[in-house]
A and B are shown apart, each in its own frame.
Chain A
């Protein structure tokens, strides 16, 4: 139990082992720990950056969706207005054409009536002259004939 040379042997051993640890064990292990800590920190930072990028992308996507929806709505609106305008124009055109066609037809009818009346008048004059000639039993002279016709036509017209 007494102290003896063992003590010195153990002191020497202790000094050697601590020296060895100080020189060859501690620095590389601590360097490895620090490297690992740096790696973990870098990994966490990268993850944070990734999360941020994802959030940004999501925000941008939402914004783009919103814009697209707006544009689509605007386009639809425009198209609807355009269609309504075209329809209105078409309707007005058709109306106008119908009116024109109607007017033209009416004019034609009018002319046909006038022409028919003229013909009728002429025919009637001639009939009157002929009838009058018979009644007088003589030929109406050519100039009287013409005058009578004209007068009859005027009075009828």
Chain B
């Protein structure tokens, strides 16, 4: 911690060889309470819950004003966003569901908000947290496998639910045992199905985590390795590019959630 001043001062190579590593490592630690399997990442929980509550409150107030017949530019933007998500759900998910639309909206906005924490200056939040007494702070919740897995495993559970709801126990079993190679290859079919279904939540969560981890790491590396008077140039470029990435990743997560659930709901 406290690297930037030293980084600025570090004009000779020997210092540079030591300090950046310490700096980078400081950005890889979570604010942890407890030990082992029973520990929690306070930073991830705080930021994600805060943003989740912000999302709920923001949209709730917007929805209430909309229901009251108000129409402002902000409300129309909100309406367009919901309309957009609703359109994606209608295009992809064939069948009646009350859950997929709100689920997709929550995933998209919540993941986007959490990703957007990456756009804050890379040292700002950790330093403020340090002032408040936190030993470490990672401000991007989607840069935590617990977060991304929580999302993808929840989606996975819903996939199982939709499999049963859409096809019934018999239909689901028939699909698992007979597709894609026919009934005589039932064991092989089951193995294939297991791999296929397990790969979905795994890839879903790892894709988001990997993108956010790499994005954050680029910011950290720019801050760690480049002199302060030059760092802002690649920083600016990467930030602008990153606006695209965080939106794209949130969108991909939402779309794949819809697609996976629709695949689970419909017979292949």
Partners in one complex: yes
Chain A contact patch, size range:
20 to 34
List the A residue with the shortest CB-CB distance to B86: A30
B68 to chain A, nearest CB (A): 9
Chain B contact patch, size range:
35 or more
List the B residue with the shortest CB-CB distance to A31: B67
A15 to chain B, nearest CB (A): 7
Q: Does B131 contact A (CB under 8 A)?
A: no
Cβ < 8 Å to A, chain B residues 140-154: 141, 144-147, 149-151, 153-154
The docked-state distance in angstroms from the alpha carbon of A8 to that of B151 is 10
A39 to chain B, nearest CB (A): 10
Known A3-B146, A5-B40, A36-B79: A11·B154 in contact at CB below 8 Å: yes
Choose, from A18-26, A46-54, A66-74, the stretch at the interface: A18-26
- A21, B39: Cβ atoms under 8 Å? no
Residues on A with beta carbons closer than 8 Å to the beta carbon of B34 = 4-5
The residue that A17 contacts in the complex, of B56, B63, B78, with Cβ under 8 A, is B56
- A13, B64: Cβ atoms under 8 Å? no
Q: Does B122 contact A (CB under 8 A)?
A: no
Bits for A1-12, please: 1 = Cβ < 8 Å to B, else 0. Answer: 111111111110
- A29, B82: Cβ atoms under 8 Å? yes
Residues on B with beta carbons closer than 8 Å to the beta carbon of A18 = 99, 102-103, 106
- B41, A6: Cβ atoms under 8 Å? yes
Residues on B with beta carbons closer than 8 Å to the beta carbon of A32 = 63, 66-67, 79
The residue that B78 contacts in the complex, of A1, A20, A29, with Cβ under 8 A, is A29
Known A1-B145, A13-B48: A33·B79 in contact at CB below 8 Å: yes
Residues on B with beta carbons closer than 8 Å to the beta carbon of A157 = none
- A3, B145: Cβ atoms under 8 Å? yes
The docked-state distance in angstroms from the alpha carbon of A152 to that of B125 is 167
- A17, B106: Cβ atoms under 8 Å? yes
Residues on A with beta carbons closer than 8 Å to the beta carbon of B86 = 30, 33
Show 8 A/B contacts (Cβ-Cβ < 8 Å), sorted by A: A3-B146, A10-B44, A11-B153, A18-B102, A25-B56, A29-B82, A32-B63, A32-B79
In the A-B complex, the 9 residue pairs with the closest CB atoms: A10-B150, A6-B146, A32-B66, A22-B102, A28-B63, A21-B102, A26-B102, A28-B67, A25-B59
Q: In the complex, given contacts A17-B106, A25-B105, what are 17 additional A-B residue pairs having Cβ atoms less than 8 angstroms apart?
A: A1-B145, A3-B145, A3-B149, A4-B34, A4-B37, A4-B39, A5-B40, A9-B146, A9-B150, A10-B141, A10-B150, A11-B153, A14-B110, A17-B56, A22-B99, A28-B63, A30-B82
Q: Write the residues of chain B forming the contact surface with A, with a CB cutoff of 8 angstroms.
A: 34, 36-41, 44-45, 48-49, 52, 55-56, 59-60, 62-64, 66-67, 78-79, 82-83, 86, 98-99, 101-103, 105-106, 110, 141, 144-147, 149-151, 153-154
